[in-house]
Structure 1
Amino acid sequence: MVATQVHRAELAGGTAERILDAAEDLFAKKGYKGASLGEVAERVGIRSPSLYNHFRNKEALYRAVLGRLLDEFAAPMEELHTAPITDERLYQWLEAIVRKHHANPNLARLLQHAALSGGPGTNDLIERFFRPMFHDDDGLLQPGLRALGNAGLRPWAVMAFNNLIMSYVTMAPMYRDLLGQDPFSEEALERQLTLIKTLVQAVIATPTAAPA
């Protein structure tokens, strides 16, 4: 009896994960409004009513997808402000974020859809993903970062590098033929990391004056 209950629980857990996987791909491709529960069920190979055994409705499923993706990025986001931000810590953090995006490309795609057409969970996205990057930090030991802050440009720098990293992910299908290689290959990842580090070095090495 107990063994049967455990087996059923394992099957239910496996089905829920498959539902989340299918929903993540569809929401990333079509956005919250464009994806349907029927499509999710079809991908999983179950009937639509069976979805409700695992998720109350479409919004609950979407929030679960977002939550799972945001959990993947939780560690670097929480770690960002645990110590003074030096050159080395900044490069390590940026590399961690870039690698997370390469491993979980659907977050950038979901963010793009949310920015364009909205959807539930937008506040969670802002608070868990964006807010830590815009946090005012008194521990900026790096002079270039302090200069950006003093000039009132730090938020714009954050947005610029965020867009640089995430647009690479969302536009990757269009770049594939131009590059002649998979944009998510290890070689392409190393090139992106080199570019980002080079740009960051240029920005933080240049004295920044406050805008007139």
Structure 2
Amino acid sequence: MATENTEKKPSRIQLRNRRKILDAALDVFSRYGFRGATLDQIAETAGLSKPNMLYYFASKEAIHIELLNTLMDEWLAPLEEMDPEGAPLEELLRYISRKMEMSRAYPRESRLFANEITQGAPRIGPHLHARLKPLFDEKCILIRGWMDDGKIAQIEPEHLIFSIWAITQHYADFASQVQVLLPDVETAQKGADRHVEMLFNKLLSI
């Protein structure tokens, strides 16, 4: 006889409140970092009472970890999708293009991740070892293979990936500076896309 699943599914209101809390927390954490953020700030931004918010998440750290776990899934997806059977230069430029899109679509998430890393990755450290490191090693082996086969220029794969991350995430992490220096947002975005694609195209072409 099959055992009955007695776990109660969250209601629509509960799901909505969780989303409101996480969105508010993302805003607060991306502005003030983990240490500077408070539960009172998150509750106020979410439009909920602090006791009500603590019904869904036991602590500030629990909210932060939930956000980081979700962010890790989003962040790794474009790298995971790099196709070993695809044309190497096209695959790398597609990955770079996706990272540029994400820097525009998820600036708060990027700053959240940057804040966590600059503090020594106290909460996301296990995920870096368990998920990012194996994927990073796998893609470095793939890129080195493409280089050894003469399909793209010889560059250290590890530092190529670091360079892609550094350049693409700059547009999210330093968005306020970019907007001051290049106030025409649409023109700036098009220029950034062209520049980054041209830069890596020249760097990787043989």
Q: TM-score, normalised by structure 1?
A: 0.79
Give the aligned partner of residue 159 of structure 2: 156
Task: Quote the offset at 1:129 in angstroms.
Answer: 5.0
The alignment of Structure 1 onto Structure 2 pairs a total of residues equal to: 194
Contact 1:85 1:141 in 2 (8 A): no
Task: Quote the offset at 1:133 in angstroms.
Answer: 3.9
Contact 2:27 2:108 in 1 (8 A): yes
Give the aligned partner of residue 114 of structure 2: 112
Contact 1:84 1:141 in 2 (8 A): no
Contact 2:30 2:115 in 1 (8 A): yes
Q: TM-score, normalised by structure 2?
A: 0.81
CA–CA distance in structure 2, aligned partners of residues 157 and 190 of structure 1 = 23
154-163 or 76-85: bigger deviation:
76-85
Contact 2:33 2:115 in 1 (8 A): yes
Task: Quote the offset at 1:115 in angstroms.
Answer: 2.4
Report the 3-state secondary structure (helix = DSSP H, G, I; strand = E; otherwise coil) of the residue aligned with 1:120. coil
Give the aligned partner of residue 176 of structure 2: 173
Task: Quote the offset at 1:166 in angstroms.
Answer: 0.9
Report the 3-state secondary structure (helix = DSSP H, G, I; strand = E; otherwise coil) of the residue aligned with 2:56. coil
Change (3 A) 1:33 1:130: farther
Which 5+ residue runs of structure 2 have no aligned equivalent? 1-7
Matched, 1:27 2:29: yes
Matched, 1:123 2:126: yes
CA–CA distance in structure 1, aligned partners of residues 84 and 190 of structure 2 = 27
CA–CA distance in structure 1, aligned partners of residues 153 and 130 of structure 2 = 24
CA–CA distance in structure 1, aligned partners of residues 141 and 195 of structure 2 = 25
Give the aligned partner of residue 4 of structure 2: none
Contact 2:93 2:201 in 1 (8 A): no
Aligned with 1:141 (options 146, 167, 183): 146
Task: Quote the offset at 1:79 in angstroms.
Answer: 1.1
Report the 3-state secondary structure (helix = DSSP H, G, I; strand = E; otherwise coil) of the residue aligned with 1:141. helix
Contact 2:78 2:95 in 1 (8 A): yes
Q: CA RMSD in A?
A: 2.5
Task: Quote the offset at 1:33 in angstroms.
Answer: 1.1
Task: Quote the offset at 1:75 in angstroms.
Answer: 2.9
Change (3 A) 1:48 1:165: same
Change (3 A) 1:179 1:129: farther
Report the 3-state secondary structure (helix = DSSP H, G, I; strand = E; otherwise coil) of the residue aligned with 1:201. helix
